[in-house]
């Protein structure tokens, strides 16, 4: 089997409101985009890569990677990963370069699983057939009524875990952060797990102070309280609170996660398959965390992470975003349904089990 062509599709679903967190002041326009990479082979098998639609990612796939992939054996995933990594050496071994590599790598794993007639989680080595999820959102541009409606909406769907944003206005609205967390806890009661996400919005001492306030509300994890580039600051926060610290969603590669994990900066590693280096690197990070007896939680890209999570013994939970679900419902012909806070991949569909809806491609293509 050889790869004979590499093409891309970029979709943008506009029917979503703009969202905001502590350091993302305007997820600009409403809507959400996603990039898809199509890896076509001489025997007709086609892999579907899923990744970020950030500016420049598509161009790297088409102009820097295509010639590396044509006429290559798609089963040689480690070799192809290394070739793409070194092609990025001078300009992009993180950021959009790794986003491009990640999308292609995920497509290679989808292709391999399809060629072998296996769901991806079975090819990776299943540990579980279903995994727990949490409802994620709680954006800082929601007022309290909207915030409570969203959090309770997840619980009404049978999901007993939710996450909300804190560190509003780059961490300048401390009292409002505390009041919003208190309001959510009162509304949900004590039996629903509540996580909070600061999106880098605090400084270390400030994060410790805020964490002590959040401890009173039985917060289950504090996500990215400070910049992960400041690994010593992250470690300072981790040692200053009883709340587990989660981080890593924007970080690329196993070496960055080694810094965070070995540096005592995290309790929960959060690799993102579309940024960390695809399925290949995501699984390596998960194993690295396991060697330190730490948990892993996925970030976004939920229908891809569902497979990786099912192959991860040290999984804590999978992020489930309502607005991503709306996009995936619009883009794919079918996605599996969650039930009672658990989610399972299609057991009888090879690869990721995802197929783009031709109508969606025609309507939402960029």
CATH number, position 268: 3.20.20.120
| Residue 110 in domain | yes
> What are the pLDDT digits (tens) for 11-67?
999 999 889 999 987 555 688 999 999 999 999 999 999 999 999 999 999 999 999
Q: Domain residues for 85?
A: 3-117+357-364
Q: Is the same domain home to 234 and 138?
A: yes
| Residue 309 in domain | yes
Residues 132 and 122: beta-carbon distance below 8 Å = no
Q: How many domains, in total, are found in the chain?
A: 2
pLDDT at 18: 87
| Residue 71 in domain | yes
pLDDT at 146: 98
What predicted TM-score, i.e. pTM, was given to this entire model? 0.96
CATH number, position 68: 3.30.390.10
Q: Is the same domain home to 228 and 292?
A: yes
- For the stretch 130-163, what's the b/e string if a residue is b when 16 or more beta carbons lie within 10 angstroms of its beta carbon? bbbbbbbbbbbbbeeeebbebbbebbeeebbbbb
Count Cβ atoms below 10 Å from residue 343 Cβ, excluding itself: 23
- For the stretch 76-113, what's the b/e string if a residue is b when 16 or more beta carbons lie within 10 angstroms of its beta carbon? ebeebbeebbebbeeebbbbbbbbbbbbbbbbbbbbbb
Closest of 194, 102, 139 to residue 323, by C-alpha: 139
> What are the pLDDT digits (tens) for 131-144?
999 999 999 999 99
CA distances from 115 to 7, 106, 267, 273 (A): 19, 14, 37, 21
Average pLDDT, integer, range 321-333: 95
Q: Pull the structure tokens for residue 57.
A: 């990612």
């Amino acid at each position: 089997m050889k790869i004979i062509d590499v093409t891309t599709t970029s979709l943008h679903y506009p029917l979503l409101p703009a969202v905001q967190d502590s350091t993302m002041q305007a997820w600009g326009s409403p809507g959400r985009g996603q990039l898809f990479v199509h890896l076509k082979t001489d025997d007709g098998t086609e892999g579907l890569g899923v990744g970020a639609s950030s500016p420049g990612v598509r161009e790297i796939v088409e102009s820097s990677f295509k010639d590396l992939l044509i006429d290559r054996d798609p089963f040689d995933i480690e070799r192809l990963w290394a070739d793409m990594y070194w092609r990025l050496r001078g300009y992009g071994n993180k950021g959009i370069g790794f986003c491009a590599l990640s999308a292609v790598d995920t497509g290679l794993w989808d292709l391999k699983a399809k060629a072998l007639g296996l769901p991806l989680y079975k090819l990776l080595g299943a540990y579980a057939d279903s995994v727990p999820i949490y409802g994620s959102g709680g954006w800082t541009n929601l007022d309290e009524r909207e915030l409570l409606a969203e959090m309770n909406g997840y619980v009404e769907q049978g999901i007993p875990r939710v996450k909300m944003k804190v560190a509003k206005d780059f961490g300048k609205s401390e009292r409002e952060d505390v009041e919003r967390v208190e309001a959510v806890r009162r509304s949900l009661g004590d039996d629903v797990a509540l996580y909070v996400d600061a999106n880098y919005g605090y400084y270390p001492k400030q994060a410790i102070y805020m964490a002590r306030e959040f401890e009173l509300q039985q917060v289950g994890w504090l996500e990215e309280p400070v910049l992960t580039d400041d690994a010593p600051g992250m470690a300072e926060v981790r040692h200053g609170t009883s709340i587990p610290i989660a981080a890593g969603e924007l970080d690329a590669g196993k070496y960055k996660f080694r810094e965070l994990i070995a540096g005592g900066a995290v309790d929960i590693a959060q690799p993102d398959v579309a940024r960390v280096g695809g399925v290949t690197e995501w699984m390596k990070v998960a194993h690295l965390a396991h060697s330190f007896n730490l948990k892993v939680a996925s970030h976004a890209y939920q229908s891809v992470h569902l497979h990786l999570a099912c192959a991860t013994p040290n999984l804590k939970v999978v992020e489930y975003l309502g607005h991503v679900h709306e996009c995936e419902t619009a883009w794919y012909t079918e996605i599996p349904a969650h039930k009672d806070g658990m989610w399972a991949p299609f057991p009888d569909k090879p690869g990721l089990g995802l197929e783009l809806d031709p109508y969606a491609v025609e309507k939402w293509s960029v």
